[in-house]
Amino acid sequence: MGGVLRGSFQTTRRTQEFGITLQIAPGDTTRHAPPTGRGRPRFSRVRRLRGEGTEARRAWRSAYVRSIVLGDAVCAALAAVIGYFVRFGTDVDGQQYSLTAAVLMPVLWLAAMHIGRTYEERYLWVGADEFRRVLDAAALLLAAVAVVAWGLDLAVARGFVVVALPVATVLTLLLRYVRRQRLHRARIGGAFQQTTVIVGHRGAVASLHAQLDRAAYHGYRVIGCCLPDGRLADGPTDFDGLPVLGGLTEVLDVVRRYEVDTVAVMPCPELDGPELRRLGWALEQTEAELLLAPAVTEVVGPRVAIRPVCGLPLLHVERPELRGVRRLGKSAVDAGLAVGALLVTLPLFLGIALAVKTTSRGPVFFKQTRVGRDGQTFSMLKFRSMVTGADRMVEVLENDNDGNGVLYKRKADPRVTRIGRVLRRYSLDELPQLLNVLRGDMSLVGPRPPLPSETERYGFDMRRRFLVKPGITGLWQISGRSDLSWDDSVRIDVRYVENWSLSFDMMILWKTLGAVIRGRGAY
């Protein structure tokens, strides 16, 4: 995907990632490089894609779904055994209905997962819908068991149900998460890809190309684009490192010629309602999937719904809920988790304080003015990881900046102490910010708290981050931190504000553990 579409599809490699053997073309693990601008783009890689075929590239999907179904059945059977023996021990004759329920539980569990539509491919691979549907299906099964047992007066032990169903839910979620992570790693390595053509104007094509390139685990391998001016005989035959395969009226021919799996259409006036509808009808004659990018970006999840208005399917965008009961709920969760985290990490907290005090001169804590919700400033606490007066040395070192142009960062910062390198590598220097959470200045999850000097350079979009409290962690921390460009930082902060929810916060907290261990962008 991307670059000058370099590489060769002459060799294949075998993979047994999901219990089957497929012939899969090797991916370009170096991802995409900027176009060199020398000579004509090389189309050999694109042409060879015709030999693979959409059906062959999608063959792994059915095997993946079968493995998920089998895994769910195993999880349910294991949960039934655990629930029965936790409740009754080795007494297999004392509770007839409970024993029957334990035997039937894998069947009932798979039926509930099927009714909850957890095996449909559109809910798999990425996103939270798969996990949300598993939880909904588990709740449905619990309610059904309760109603049937009450209605037929069956003596199903409540202790068995209370243990077995939650265990089955947790095991199922964990197994699906592990399988998804294996799929994502394989896609980053070049396997299980689907060829993609981007249709639209140049700016929109370049933007989507960059986003797909960053999120390689989604599995979209961009092989080219279709632009309004198409392939001009006397003009460039590539754009943004992608071959220009045709114009907006040649999309169907391009799909057939290169056996394209996915067509991503960006908003453009040339493809209005009737034209877009006809394109969709035409693509029904092929195996290609059609993806439409809305003009409103970075707004996802429950805020977006398609509603019929005057016979038109209009995209309805709800207002972001930033005040009221949901804000109080977020504050309550923040306070509870912060107190628990402080109690658990108290020995570590004291050990770090002692190490900072004994290894370098200066105070244990570093206080710095940051900007919070509604643009109000507050004093943020951190364990001191630099020499005293490091904040006053920025002007001297500003020429050696590894940051994104607004945020000053250095990978080998001479101001960082020996113990400070360890603290910053694993984000342990940020533990005192739990006290900021208890004081109400910060949240556990939110945008990164900026310096006042940074906010002076903010544009209109970036100021939207002041609608919520800054966080100890957030999308910025789990997406690369200091390695991100300024544009990516703006996009990520705006996305969080637009789509905040408690479930979103829990997902970010979960991913923070992996980000801290990897330490990517932590310097």
Sorting pLDDT into bands at 50, 70 and 90, what band is 26? very low
Q: Mean pLDDT throughout 128-143?
A: 90
- Tell me which amino acid residue 467 is: L
- Report if pTM > 0.85: no
pLDDT per position as a tens digit, 187-237: 999 899 899 999 999 888 998 898 888 888 899 999 999 998 876 655 558
Q: Exposed (0-12), middle (13-18) or buried (19+): which is 102, by Cβ within 10 Å? A: buried
What percent of the chain has pLDDT above 90?
33
Quick one: pLDDT at residue 110? 95
Strands 471-473 and 443-445: parallel
Comparison of pLDDT for 29 and 261, the residue scoring more: 261
Q: How far apart are alpha carbons 386 and 250 in whole angstroms? A: 59
Quick one: pLDDT at residue 8? 31
Sorting pLDDT into bands at 50, 70 and 90, what band is 125? confident
- Give φ, ψ of 196 to 5 degrees: -135, 140
Weakest mean pLDDT among 1-10, 140-149, 156-165, 233-242: 1-10
Sorting pLDDT into bands at 50, 70 and 90, what band is 451? confident
Quick one: pLDDT at residue 150? 78
CA angle 228, 233, 235 (to 5 degrees): 65
Quick one: pLDDT at residue 472? 92
Sorting pLDDT into bands at 50, 70 and 90, what band is 405? low
Q: How far apart are alpha carbons 483 and 489 in whole angstroms? A: 10
Q: Is the pLDDT of residue 44 over 70?
A: no
Quick one: pLDDT at residue 169? 95
Helix (H, G, I), strand (E, B) or coil at 366: strand
- Please give, one letter per residue, the 3-state secondary structure of 22-82: EEECCCCCCCCCCCCCCCCCCCHHHHHHHHCCHHHHCHHHHHHHHHHHHHHHHHHHHHHHH
Q: What is the mean pLDDT of the chain?
A: 78
pLDDT per position as a tens digit, 246-264: 888 899 999 999 999 999 9
Comparison of pLDDT for 311 and 32, the residue scoring more: 311
Residue 37, Cβ neighbours under 10 Å: how many? 9
Quick one: pLDDT at residue 522? 55
> 416-428 burial, b for 16+ CB within 10 Å, e for fewer?
bbebbeebbeebb
**Domains with residue ranges and CATH for the chain:** 13-57+193-293 (3.40.50.20), 60-187 (no CATH), 325-518 (no CATH)
Strands 238-239 and 13-15: unpaired
Q: Mean pLDDT throughout 130-159?
A: 83
Rounded alpha-carbon distances, angstroms, from residue 446 to 408, 428, 470: 20, 18, 5
Packing angle between helix 96-115 and helix 59-88, nearest 10 degrees?
A: 150
Q: Is the pLDDT of residue 335 over 90?
A: yes
Quick one: pLDDT at residue 162? 84
What percent of the chain has pLDDT above 70?
74
Q: How far apart are alpha carbons 302 and 278 in whole angstroms? A: 29
pLDDT per position as a tens digit, 270-304: 887 788 889 999 999 898 999 988 765 556 556 67
Quick one: pLDDT at residue 27? 34
Quick one: pLDDT at residue 260? 92
pLDDT per position as a tens digit, 423-439: 888 889 999 999 999 99
Helix (H, G, I), strand (E, B) or coil at 265: strand
Taking alpha carbons only, the member of 147, 117, 111 closest to residue 132 is 117
Comparison of pLDDT for 128 and 348, the residue scoring more: 348
Quick one: pLDDT at residue 434? 94
Weakest mean pLDDT among 102-111, 225-234, 405-414: 405-414
pLDDT per position as a tens digit, 357-390: 998 888 999 998 999 998 899 999 999 988 877 6
pLDDT per position as a tens digit, 459-490: 777 788 888 899 999 888 787 665 667 677 77
Quick one: pLDDT at residue 57? 85
Quick one: pLDDT at residue 47? 44
Quick one: pLDDT at residue 340? 94
Contact present, 141 and 165 (Cβ < 8 Å): yes
